[in-house]
Amino acid sequence: MPLEQSPFCSSSWLENCGPGGFVFHNSCGLVKTTIKGIPALFTPNWAVDCGLVLNNYSGDEYSVFVEEINKRSEHYITIDLPPCFDEFRLSTAIVKQHTPSNIKVQWRHTRILELPTKLPSNRRKQVKRAEREMISCEEVQNWNKVHVLHDKSRNRKDIKNDSDQLGKLLNSIASEDFSFAVEAKSPEGECIASGGFILLPNKRCLYAFGGQKRGPLSAIASVAMLAEAIEIAKSKGARWFDFGGSSDPGVDRFYKEFGAKSIPRPRLIKISWWLRPILKFLRPDLN
């Protein structure tokens, strides 16, 4: 592939996030599947976006990409595009002006921090407190705790989770140059917060997986873990730290307090007319 490829288009991701993964139009990763027997096309599992990479991000080039989506025969299509950020070259104007009317654009957001940066005073105090509590943070090669604590986080929120498939994905990407993991440990050596991070095109580092073991030190351990990850991301050449965004107001506020700005993320939705009344009840978030 002549362009810089997103990890979400890599064989490590597409061959281990579940069946049906493939590189679409030589520019992004997608998953072809069925839902209740209905052909569907989605963003790869556990990927925050499809990893779209274009040559020059012009309106004409984006139009070609969306027209290829429009030619697909699947009745149920949801594709998450990367954040619309001037420095990432995909703009909200291009998406708004060049997405055909039969494809709905649903706007969400992520939180992105420009690097290098000095964390806000409240976050720096929490990192100092973590040091006083003898919480240690380090980059690790084994992603087992990332898997375990990510599972715990999703289970607490009652989010559907295929733990076995996630384990295969994490084992696959753990050895890739585009990934790294960080653990925060208690004085006794117990991992109480962990994160898995992905280095994406445009020098963006994504907080892709993570969780914590609930307890009196879990909050400051998570802050210290993320502060360490930000430093590691800088050392690996990242200019932007992407927290991944969240529809949970409390989580979103947690990311915002790192100084991260809200950046729009578009989701493309195409649903056959006869399927819309059904999905209106099954997936109200798509309306």
Q: pLDDT for 68-77, tens place per residue?
A: 999 999 999 9
Q: Give pTM, 2 decimals.
A: 0.93
What is the percent of the chain where pLDDT is above 70? 97
Mean pLDDT of the chain: 93
Question: Mind listing the pLDDT tens digit for each residue in 154-212?
Answer: 877 777 789 999 999 999 999 999 999 999 999 999 999 999 999 998 999 999 999 99
Q: Domain 116-238's class?
A: alpha beta
The number of C-alpha atoms within 13 Å of 42 and in the hemisphere containing its C-beta is 18
Domain with CATH 3.40.630.30 in the chain: 116-238
Residue type at 261 in one-letter notation = K
Question: Mind listing the pLDDT tens digit for each residue in 18-35?
Answer: 999 999 999 999 999 998
